[in-house]
């Protein structure tokens, strides 16, 4: 159980592009009755433009975005509201910065899947700025959060409903 039940839940649904962060994040937030924020909407326009052109983001590109996500989480917690935010959170240092923004009260749902499944899903998406060509870059950048406190790993080879259920069930085992 969580140390302090009075602190609202702050959850990041993380993983590479194509893992289903948005759909799963919305589902988890609905199931838990808390606010949902699509992390991609917090990217500066320059980041979206770079990714749209197939140019991978650098750490320098990501820091302002991560700062904005951290501010949103902090603001929600300050208002006593729970929140689910989508964020690739590819590196441990990014996750640590987000944990610091949340005062350490942050949980992660890591959506894991094979490169083949991720590529297939990205190819089926409509209207998303992230091209399939950037998947390899994200997979190379990803530092899998195995063993980190407050992280659950959920396999994405299922329906959205099944992944949401597995996410909430796994999360409840560490709360």
pLDDT in tens, 137-150: 889 999 999 999 99
Task: Spell out where 27-130 has E strands.
Answer: 35-37, 83-86, 107-112
CA distance 22 to 109: 12
Instruction: Provide the residue ranges of all domains of the chain, joining segments of one domain with +.
Output: 10-173
**5-61 per-position pLDDT tens digit:** 678 999 999 999 889 999 999 999 999 999 999 999 999 999 989 988 888 889 999
Distance CA 121, CA 173 (A): 29
* Topology classification of domain 10-173: Rossmann fold (3.40.50)
């Amino acid at each position: 159980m969580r140390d302090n039940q009075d602190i609202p839940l702050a959850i990041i649904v993380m993983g590479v592009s194509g893992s289903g962060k948005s759909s799963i994040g919305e589902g988890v937030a609905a199931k838990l009755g808390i606010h949902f924020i699509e992390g991609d909407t917090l990217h500066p326009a320059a980041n979206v433009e770079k990714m749209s052109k197939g140019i991978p983001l650098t750490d320098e590109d990501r820091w302002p975005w991560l700062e904005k996500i951290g501010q949103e989480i902090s603001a929600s917690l300050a208002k006593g509201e729970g929140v689910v935010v989508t964020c690739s959170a590819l590196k441990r240092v990014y996750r640590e910065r987000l944990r610091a923004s949340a005062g350490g009260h942050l949980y992660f749902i890591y959506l894991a899947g094979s490169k083949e499944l991720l590529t297939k899903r990205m190819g089926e998406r409509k209207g998303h700025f992230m091209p399939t060509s950037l998947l390899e870059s994200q997979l190379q950048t990803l530092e899998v959060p195995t063993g980190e406190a407050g992280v659950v790993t959920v396999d994405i080879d299922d329906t959205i409903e099944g992944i949401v259920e597995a996410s909430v069930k796994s999360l409840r085992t560490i709360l």
